[in-house]
Structure 1
């Protein structure tokens, strides 16, 4: 187990250590455990670059908004699926299950996005990802375990279906909500493909797409030109990449421990009784 942990964590430590080392010195190699020449210039370059900070803002916005809408909309559909009186429920489940194994492909989906006028729009990050059938199955397994008496009591008090969902179902579903929020939040944060295919405007590209372009080009000439004065001599394109990787990874790593207890409980939904 210790060997596995080391093999998993050391690459992260290596990136972190080299990102805090002076860029020109890091080119010599031989940095494995601690920085040889400590320097924050790479991070100054990252946070001083308008393009990176704009991309970070887009990433944060699409992660927060996209995750909130995805959880609410998917939970609402799952709650409807959990009702036995839903007409055509078996047909809907069959159609949804088919989508888990078969898709239309990239070109038809691109044409659909184009016809919906979502190209070069912030909503291309939000609307197509508002619903996921796999997440619906997880919600459905949880909702089926909720005692029917809770809904009946709320209905006696005059609550309609939407009021029951918002005031009764959502508050007692925090474990599964946290699980799905973590799943989708990580997806939204790490998604670079959507920005690469459907977004041409640089000001709408997320940080992962920005980082992808930096790595793919193996050059940071535009970035180096936008650096604050006095930094250019001590950083390299490699040090910029490492610092950007750390900046884009740490936020989601810090969020995970706060949701871990809900995450573990949510994964056990439907696997045990009692």
Structure 2
């Protein structure tokens, strides 16, 4: 009787998970199919599980947009450097804050928490960036967010869960704190490092507002800013595009939108499966101990 109940529960559980997964994956698949469809396929009502004809016109249109290639490279550069800096500074700050015998530890923690909840606002930040000479400079997109207090708190809490005996043994063997951090703490902290890195990468990849404020040279802007400009420009223009007018067009506004979505989220989707196993563990452990 118990086995029968467990079998029914497992069946219903798998059915519920399958339906939920389908509800999550179908919009993504619909966007993917739409990005490779022509105008006739996109304008047809119904469920689109497969393109009637595979075409890349939407992607050709997107990549023909001015400065799209340089914006893509700028976004990749910003994401890689920005993520590396956030992880680096997060480790340097979280490691000493995880020591209960650190002098004035609570005051330092309170200082970071105040900075996290309160800021000067947009105008003082803009004036600071201007006075530092970072206007129209790619560093203006990276340096202001190099220290992330929320990530520091998560990593500090995670490091506090590590066995202190390992570090004490290394100190007795003559290792310094920097060597302990690089040789022991970092390998043991892969879950939380992957979590922080994933947050930082997604944040940098999707950011566009700071580029709109600080960047004036179109060759230095980022992908999301170009995508925003493109979508706004398309919304204000026609719903069909083509080289020879409406009679020769094979591209709809919905095709372009789908292609821009796939182009902008593609790299993050490829990275997430590799970081997922660390991501879940890192955020759960890092959120338990204060």
Q: TM-score range by the shorter chain?
A: 0.7 to 0.9
* Rounded Cα–Cα distance in structure 1 between residues aligned with 2:192 and 2:127: 34
1:39 aligned onto 2:55: yes
Q: Secondary structure at the match of 2:55?
A: coil
1:272 Cα deviation after fit = 6.4
* Residue from 187, 196, 204 that aligns with 1:180: 196
What corresponds to 1:16 in structure 2? 32
* Rounded Cα–Cα distance in structure 2 between residues aligned with 1:122 and 1:185: 16
What corresponds to 2:166 in structure 1? 150
Matches within 5 A, 1:169-208: 169-208=185-224
1:222-246: per-residue Cα shift (whole Å, max 9, x none)?
A: xxx9x9xxxx943355433321211
- The answer to whether the Cα contact below 8 Å between 2:157 and 2:288 also exists between their aligned partners in 1 is no
* Residue from 253, 270, 273 that aligns with 1:257: 273
What corresponds to 1:216 in structure 2? 232
* Rounded Cα–Cα distance in structure 1 between residues aligned with 2:73 and 2:286: 37
* Rounded Cα–Cα distance in structure 2 between residues aligned with 1:53 and 1:60: 11
What are the ranges of 5 or more consecutive residues in structure 1 without an aligned counterpart?
Answer: none
Runs of 4+ in 1 over 6 A off after TM superposition: none
* Rounded Cα–Cα distance in structure 2 between residues aligned with 1:165 and 1:88: 21
What are the ranges of 5 or more consecutive residues in structure 2 without an aligned counterpart?
Answer: 1-15
What corresponds to 1:137 in structure 2? 153
- The answer to whether the Cα contact below 8 Å between 1:214 and 1:220 also exists between their aligned partners in 2 is no
* Rounded Cα–Cα distance in structure 1 between residues aligned with 2:33 and 2:57: 14
1:71-125: per-residue Cα shift (whole Å, max 9, x none)?
A: 1111110001112332222111112222332222111111111112221111112
What corresponds to 2:140 in structure 1? 124
* Rounded Cα–Cα distance in structure 1 between residues aligned with 2:235 and 2:286: 49
- The answer to whether the Cα contact below 8 Å between 1:214 and 1:241 also exists between their aligned partners in 2 is no
Q: Secondary structure at the match of 1:99?
A: helix
Q: Secondary structure at the match of 1:100?
A: helix
1:110 aligned onto 2:126: yes
Aligned length: 265
Q: Secondary structure at the match of 2:189?
A: helix
Superposition CA RMSD, Å: 2.7
1:197-253: per-residue Cα shift (whole Å, max 9, x none)?
A: 2111111111111101111222699xxx9x9xxxx9433554333212111112111
* Rounded Cα–Cα distance in structure 2 between residues aligned with 1:166 and 1:248: 34
Q: Secondary structure at the match of 1:35?
A: coil
Q: 1:136 to 1:7 in 2, by over 3 A?
A: same
Q: Normalising by the residue count of structure 1, what TM-score does the alignment of the two structures yield?
A: 0.86
Indicate the structure (1 or 2) with the bigger Cα radius of gyration: 2
* Residue from 98, 102, 117 that aligns with 1:86: 102
- The answer to whether the Cα contact below 8 Å between 1:21 and 1:35 also exists between their aligned partners in 2 is yes
Q: 1:31 to 1:21 in 2, by over 3 A?
A: farther
Q: Secondary structure at the match of 1:269?
A: helix
1:25 aligned onto 2:40: yes
